[in-house]
Chain A
Amino acid sequence: MEKLSIQNVVDAYIEQSGASKLSADALSHAFFDVIVEGLNADGVVKINGFGTFKVVNVAARESVNVNNGERIVIEGYKKVSFTPADTVVTEVKPGSEPAPAPKKAKKTAAPKAKQAEAKEPEIKPETIMPEQIVETIVPEVKQELAIKEPIKEISNQQPNRFSAIDSIIATPESIAQSQNVAETVAAEQKTEHPEADTGKTDLPKGKSGSSWFVKLLIALFVIAVIAVCVYYFMFRSCNQQDIPAKDIQPIEVEEKSATEEVVVTEQPQDTTKQKTYVMKPGDYLAKISREQYGTTDSVAAIIRLNNITEPDSIHVGTTLLMP
């Protein structure tokens, strides 16, 4: 890990190619000058066997001045990106020392990579590769392990589909397996339920579990519907009993007023007081009270006067006495 300058490269080039120092220097200078020219002219420079340089626009972004906390804007600018050619990107071969990690690398990765290297020398490459790779990706896998542990137990019961990298990378597969597992477990649970039910209830005639259950539900539903109808009709009969009572009341009052000669002055007041109201569709006591008296407080009085037992189910056409 040395910091070299291009001069070192030029020197190495001179050694290898046997070119003169002058021409080598000229070559290296021209090389990078032409790249800059190409970037200014076209924005793209492709060199075979090396890579592609591109001019990329970086957008302006908001940021904060670290000293005083002010919001500042970092202006947009152009930068040069480099994408190496395919031949330049090489695989890290198992058994060889992996390249020193860049500065940003996770600290846990480096010592574990070294441990993997210590194991390597006598083992064949085919078995190393998964282990070595697992060592380098252990931090990621650890997170998955933490999440997938409950599923692991179920997955262990199932035969693994991937034999080669089975034991080592079981956890990522549990993601795929868990989908299958969930399906099979759900299927198992479905088959278990009816079996449990038939065991408990000891049905005669050996009916199959699921259909018996469904028939029971239907029967209960029908009974519930019948019960609702019965209650509904009972309320109907209650309301019918109320109506003749209300009709009787005004007649009784009128008879009283006719017989009582002393209370003559009150008669017109009585008759005028006996307001009646016929129920229309959509009427309710609060509405009637509001219309007649401007307030919903009279609802209680109406109920009392008419001896209403079910204020919510007064039929259309019912004559109500108004207090």
Chain B
Amino acid sequence: MNNRAFIDRMTDKLGGNANNMQKQVDAFVQTLLSQVKAGNSVNVKNFGIFEQKTKAARKIYNPSTKTFNIISAKETIGFKMGNALKDKIQ
């Protein structure tokens, strides 16, 4: 299911047109992301938990040029499936 199919399905459920729905979904996603990026973990019932994850900085080696580069640390989001979801997808 790609993004377009996702939005179509949402409009089937909620009505309205695809453009509006896309905007609403974007806004919703942004608030969710901002909450998680603030360091909190967001628990969605019967679905899972979104939490913040940090990836440490690391050095990579280019064997052809024999140079080291540093990849900076990153902040991302992790997701842990809940048990209810585990049952739903079997």
**Residues of A near any B CB (own CB < 8 A):** 1-6, 8-9, 12-13, 16-17, 19, 23, 26-28, 30-42, 44-51, 53, 55, 77-82, 84, 88-92, 94, 98-102, 109, 129-130, 133, 136-137, 162, 165, 169, 172-173, 175-176, 179
Q: A30-B14, A47-B3, A82-B78 are in contact. Are A176 and B68 (CB under 8 A)?
A: yes
Does the CB pair A89–B3 fall under 8 Å? Answer: no
Does the CB pair B59–A27 fall under 8 Å? Answer: no
B42: chain A residues at CB < 8 Å are 4-6, 8-9
Does the CB pair B39–A100 fall under 8 Å? Answer: yes
The chain A residue sitting closest to B26, CB to CB, is: A49
Give bound CA distance, A12 to B29, whole Å: 11
Task: Other than A3-B43, A13-B27, A82-B79, give 20 A-B pairs with Cβ distance below 8 A.
Answer: A1-B41, A6-B44, A9-B32, A9-B42, A16-B27, A30-B10, A36-B47, A44-B1, A47-B6, A47-B29, A49-B26, A78-B86, A80-B85, A90-B76, A91-B74, A92-B54, A92-B73, A102-B53, A136-B57, A179-B66
Does the CB pair A99–B75 fall under 8 Å? Answer: yes
Does the CB pair A36–B1 fall under 8 Å? Answer: no
15 interchain pairs (CB within 8 A)? Answer: A5-B45, A12-B31, A28-B28, A34-B6, A34-B9, A39-B89, A40-B89, A48-B26, A50-B32, A51-B79, A88-B76, A91-B74, A92-B75, A98-B54, A172-B59
Q: Is B19 part of the contact surface with A, judged by Cβ < 8 Å?
A: no
B81: chain A residues at CB < 8 Å are 79-80
Does the CB pair B6–A133 fall under 8 Å? Answer: no
Which chain B residues (18-50) contact chain A, with CB distance < 8 Å? 24-35, 37, 39-48
Q: A9-B35, A12-B35, A102-B54 are in contact. Are A133 and B70 (CB under 8 A)?
A: yes
Give bound CA distance, A191 to B72, whole Å: 44
Give bound CA distance, A1 to B9, whole Å: 34
B5: chain A residues at CB < 8 Å are 38
Report B62 CB to chain A, min CB distance, Å.
Answer: 10
B67: chain A residues at CB < 8 Å are 162, 176
Give bound CA distance, A116 to B81, whole Å: 35
